[in-house]
C-alpha cells in the first residue's frame, strides 16, 4: 500500500504545482491583466543602452595613444516618428529621403528599438535638430564616445585598433557584456587587453508618453568606465625615429635594457588606426586593408626574414661556448671556402679575401669564411641548439603575439623540404642564410642578451611596476666579453662593417647584416647596443631590400642613437 501512497503523493504534488502556476497566470492575466494590457498598448518602456567608455591607452610618459572623443549620433525610434517630418529632416542630416525611409523600414518588426540615422554629426546639425523641437519626435541625439588615436601612425601596430562586432561574434559572446552594436578590440593591445579596456555598459529604462517623449526614468544603471593602460612605448621618441624609414619597408625596434620595456616598435609602411573607427573613412579603411604594401603587418614582430651576418653573433657564441674556437683561433680567408677539393666554392663577401683573421677581426669585418669554418666544426645540431637557447624558432615571450620563425635542422628539413641535410646547409646556417628565418624582435632579444651578459629582462610592452623578471642562460661571461669586444670593433674600427653607425659622443657596439634574399636586393640589418660601457638601449634596424646593412641600416642606427641621446642621454655633444 505504501507504494500507492507515494504514487498518489507524486501525482497530486504535480497537480498542485500546476495549479499554483495556473493561479499565477490568473493573477497576471486576469487580476492584473488590464494594467499589463495598458502597458503593452502604450508600449511605454524604452530601453536605451549606454556604452561604457573604453579605457585609455597611454605611452610611458602619459601621452595618450588611444582615447575617446565625444561624437554626436542621431537615432530614431521608428514607431514614435512621424514620416511627414522626413522632407525636413533629410537636408539637415545630409541624407536623401529615400535613405531615411530605408533605415526606418529596415527596423520593421522591432520598431521600438532605436535605429542609427547618422553617426558623427556636426554640433551645428545636432543643434538645428534640437531647436526644431517638438518636431522630429522619435529622433534623438546621443553623445557617444568614438575611439580616437591622437598619435595616428605612431605605435599603431602595438596599440592596434577596434572594430564593430560581427553578427557571428555577437552570437558567440556573452550578451550581458557585449551589446549588439558593441566594439571589440581587433588587433594589438586593443585586442589583447579588450576585457580590461572595456568597461561595463549601462543604460536606462525610460517611460515615454504616446508621442515618444520621455516622462519618467524607471531605472538606471551607471556605466563602469574601462581600465586605463600604460604601454612602454615612448610616442615622442618614436615619432622622431619613424621618418628614418620613410618610403621604405622595414622595422626599427629599440628596447630599454634596464627594464625590458620596448621604447619603440616601428614598422613601415604604417597605418592610421583612426580609419578603422571613424565612420566616414570607409574608403581609407579599405585602402589600408587591401594595400599590397601590407601596412597592417607588424614587420618587427611578425615579419620573417633571413638574418644574414647578424646571426654570426650566435654562431660565435656557440663556437666559443662549445670550445670549438677561442678568441685567438685563426682561419685564413682567400675569398672563398671549399668543403673539399671538388665542392663548389662558398664565397666571402670580400672577393680579395681577408687573409689570416682571428675571432675579433672576423666579427669586425664580418668574414664569411671564418664563420663557415666555425659552422662546419660545430655542426648543425649544436648551431640549432644554441639558436633555440637564444630564442630563435619560438615566439619572444612578450605577452604580445609574434612569430616563431624557423631554426632548421635535419628533422625539420626532412619534414618541410623532404630532403636530407647537407654540410652546405650547415655552412649557410652559420652565416644566417639558407633556411633560417627570424623576426627583428628575435634579433633584438639576442642583442639584449649579449649586452646584459645573459641576465636579460623579459621584454615588456605593458608598463609593470614589478621588478622585471630576469632569466639566466648559463653562458660563460668570457664569451659575452669577447663578443662585445668584437661588436665594439664592428663600429669603432676603421675596418669595421658598421663604422657608419659611429657616434662621436659615446661608444656604440653592433653587428651589421646584409641578407641575401633573391629575387631582389638583399635586406639590410643592424643590431646594436648603446652605450658600450653600460648598455642602456638595444637597437635593431631592419630595412626590407635595403641593399646593405653597413650603409642603410648603420646610418639609421646612428640617427636612432642621436635622437635617443637628445631625449634621454646625459652625454654632451
Residue 221: closest CA among 200, 202, 199, 198: 202
Is residue 328 within 8 Å of 359, Cβ to Cβ?
A: yes
Q: Is 14 in the site for another protein (CB under 8 A)?
A: yes
When binding is defined by CB under 8 A, the residue of 141, 204, 297, 377 that contacts another protein is 204
Beta-carbon contacts of 370 under 8 Å, excluding residues fewer than 6 positions away, are 331, 333, 354, 357, 359, 362
Under rule CB under 8 A, which residues in 508-567 are in contact with another protein?
Answer: none
Total residues contacting another protein by CB under 8 A comes to 54
Residue closer to another protein, measured from CB, 88 or 220? 220
* Contacting range for another protein; rule: CB under 8 A; set: 26-34, 233-241, 275-283, 349-357: 26-34
34, with CB counted inside 10 A (0-12, 13-18, 19+), is exposed
Q: How far apart are CA 568 and CA 536, in angstroms?
A: 10
Residue closer to another protein, measured from CB, 2 or 465? 2
Q: Is 142 in the site for another protein (CB under 8 A)?
A: no
Minimum distance from residue 110 beta carbon to another protein (Å) = 4
Q: Is 18 in the site for another protein (CB under 8 A)?
A: yes
* Contacting range for another protein; rule: CB under 8 A; set: 197-205, 227-235, 334-342, 510-518: 197-205
38, with CB counted inside 10 A (0-12, 13-18, 19+), is exposed
* Contacting range for another protein; rule: CB under 8 A; set: 12-20, 363-371, 465-473, 509-517: 12-20
Half-sphere exposure of 228 (CA within 13 A, CB side): 13
When binding is defined by CB under 8 A, the residue of 110, 143, 210, 286 that contacts another protein is 110
Q: How far apart are CA 527 and CA 512, in angstroms?
A: 6
User: Beta strand 523-530 with 509-515: parallel, antiparallel or unpaired?
Assistant: antiparallel
Minimum distance from residue 192 beta carbon to another protein (Å) = 20
Q: Is 7 in the site for another protein (CB under 8 A)?
A: yes
Under rule CB under 8 A, which residues in 431-470 are in contact with another protein?
Answer: none
Q: Which helix (H) or strand (E) holds 386?
A: helix 368-389
Outline where 279-327 has alpha helix (H).
Answer: 282-290, 299-302, 312-322
Can you read off the three cell numbers belonging to residue 328?
Answer: 685567438
Residue closer to another protein, measured from CB, 46 or 511? 46
Q: Is 202 in the site for another protein (CB under 8 A)?
A: yes
Is residue 475 within 8 Å of 317, Cβ to Cβ?
A: yes
Residue closer to another protein, measured from CB, 205 or 492? 205
Give the residue carrying C-alpha cell 636612432.
560
* Contacting range for another protein; rule: CB under 8 A; set: 7-15, 140-148, 247-255, 454-462: 7-15
Q: Is 1 in the site for another protein (CB under 8 A)?
A: no
Q: Is 82 in the site for another protein (CB under 8 A)?
A: no
- Residues in contact with another protein by CB under 8 A are 2-3, 6-7, 10-11, 14-15, 17-18, 20-22, 24-26, 28-30, 32-37, 39-41, 43, 45, 47, 49, 79, 108-113, 171-176, 201-205, 218-221
Amino acid at each position: 500500500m505504501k507504494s500507492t501512497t507515494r504514487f498518489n503523493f507524486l501525482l497530486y504534488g504535480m497537480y498542485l504545482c500546476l495549479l499554483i502556476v495556473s493561479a499565477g497566470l490568473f493573477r497576471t492575466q486576469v487580476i492584473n491583466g488590464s494594467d499589463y494590457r495598458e502597458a503593452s498598448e502604450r508600449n511605454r518602456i524604452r530601453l536605451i543602452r549606454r556604452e561604457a567608455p573604453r579605457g585609455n591607452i597611454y605611452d610611458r610618459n602619459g601621452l595618450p595613444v588611444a582615447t575617446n572623443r565625444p561624437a554626436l549620433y542621431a537615432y530614431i525610434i521608428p514607431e514614435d516618428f512621424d514620416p511627414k517630418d522626413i522632407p525636413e529632416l533629410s537636408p539637415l542630416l545630409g541624407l536623401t529621403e529615400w535613405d531615411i525611409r530605408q533605415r526606418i523600414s529596415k527596423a520593421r518588426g522591432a520598431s521600438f528599438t532605436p535605429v542609427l540615422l547618422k553617426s558623427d554629426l556636426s554640433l551645428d546639425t545636432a543643434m538645428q535638430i534640437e531647436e526644431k523641437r517638438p518636431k522630429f519626435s522619435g529622433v534623438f541625439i546621443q553623445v557617444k564616445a568614438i575611439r580616437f588615436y591622437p598619435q595616428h601612425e605612431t605605435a599603431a601596430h602595438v596599440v592596434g585598433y577596434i572594430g564593430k562586432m560581427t553578427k557571428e561574434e555577437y552570437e558567440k559572446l556573452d550578451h550581458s557584456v557585449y551589446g549588439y552594436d558593441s566594439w571589440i578590440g581587433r588587433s594589438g593591445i586593443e585586442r589583447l587587453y579588450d576585457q580590461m579596456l572595456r568597461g561595463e555598459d549601462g543604460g536606462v529604462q525610460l517611460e515615454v508618453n504616446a508621442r515618444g517623449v520621455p516622462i519618467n526614468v524607471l531605472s538606471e544603471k551607471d556605466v563602469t568606465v574601462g581600465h586605463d593602460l600604460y604601454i612602454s612605448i615612448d610616442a615622442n621618441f618614436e615619432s622622431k625615429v619613424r621618418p628614418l624609414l620613410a618610403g621604405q619597408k622595414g622595422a626599427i625596434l629599440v628596447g630599454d635594457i634596464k627594464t625590458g620595456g620596448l621604447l619603440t616598435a616601428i614598422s613601415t609602411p604604417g597605418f592610421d588606426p583612426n580609419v578603422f573607427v571613424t565612420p566616414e573613412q570607409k574608403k581609407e579603411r579599405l585602402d589600408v586593408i587591401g594595400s599590397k604594401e601590407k601596412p597592417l603587418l607588424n614587420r618587427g614582430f611578425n615579419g620573417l626574414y633571413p638574418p644574414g651576418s647578424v646571426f654570426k653573433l650566435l654562431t660565435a657564441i656557440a663556437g666559443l661556448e662549445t670550445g670549438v674556437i677561442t678568441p685567438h683561433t685563426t682561419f685564413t680567408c682567400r675569398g672563398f671556402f671549399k668543403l673539399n677539393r671538388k665542392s663548389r666554392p662558398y664565397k666571402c663577401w670580400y672577393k680579395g679575401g681577408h687573409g689570416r683573421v682571428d675571432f675579433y677581426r672576423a666579427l669586425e669585418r664580418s668574414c664569411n669564411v671564418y664563420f663557415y669554418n666555425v659552422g662546419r666544426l660545430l655542426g648543425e645540431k649544436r648551431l640549432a641548439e644554441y639558436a633555440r637557447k637564444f630564442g630563435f624558432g619560438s615566439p619572444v615571450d612578450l605577452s604580445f603575439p609574434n612569430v616563431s620563425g624557423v631554426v632548421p635542422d635535419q628533422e625539420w628539413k626532412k619534414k618541410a623540404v623532404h630532403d636530407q641535410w647537407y654540410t652546405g646547409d650547415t655552412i649557410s646556417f652559420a652565416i644566417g642564410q639558407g633556411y633560417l628565418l627570424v623576426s627583428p624582435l628575435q634579433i633584438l632579444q639576442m642583442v639584449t642578451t649579449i649586452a646584459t651578459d645573459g641576465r636579460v629582462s623579459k621584454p615588456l610592452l605593458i608598463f609593470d611596476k614589478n621588478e622585471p623578471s630576469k632569466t639566466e642562460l648559463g653562458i660563460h661571461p668570457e664569451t659575452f666579453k669577447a663578443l662585445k669586444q668584437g661588436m665594439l670593433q664592428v663600429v669603432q674600427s676603421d675596418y669595421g662593417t658598421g663604422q657608419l653607425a659611429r657616434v662621436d659622443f659615446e661608444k656604440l657596439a653592433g653587428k651589421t647584416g646584409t641578407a641575401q634574399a633573391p629575387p631582389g636586393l638583399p635586406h639590410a640589418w643592424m643590431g646594436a647596443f648603446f652605450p658600450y660601457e653600460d648598455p642602456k638601449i638595444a637597437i635593431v634596424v631592419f630595412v626590407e631590400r635595403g641593399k646593405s646593412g653597413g650603409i642603410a641600416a648603420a646610418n639609421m642606427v646612428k640617427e636612432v642613437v642621436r635622437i635617443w641621446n637628445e631625449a634621454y642621454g646625459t652625454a654632451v655633444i
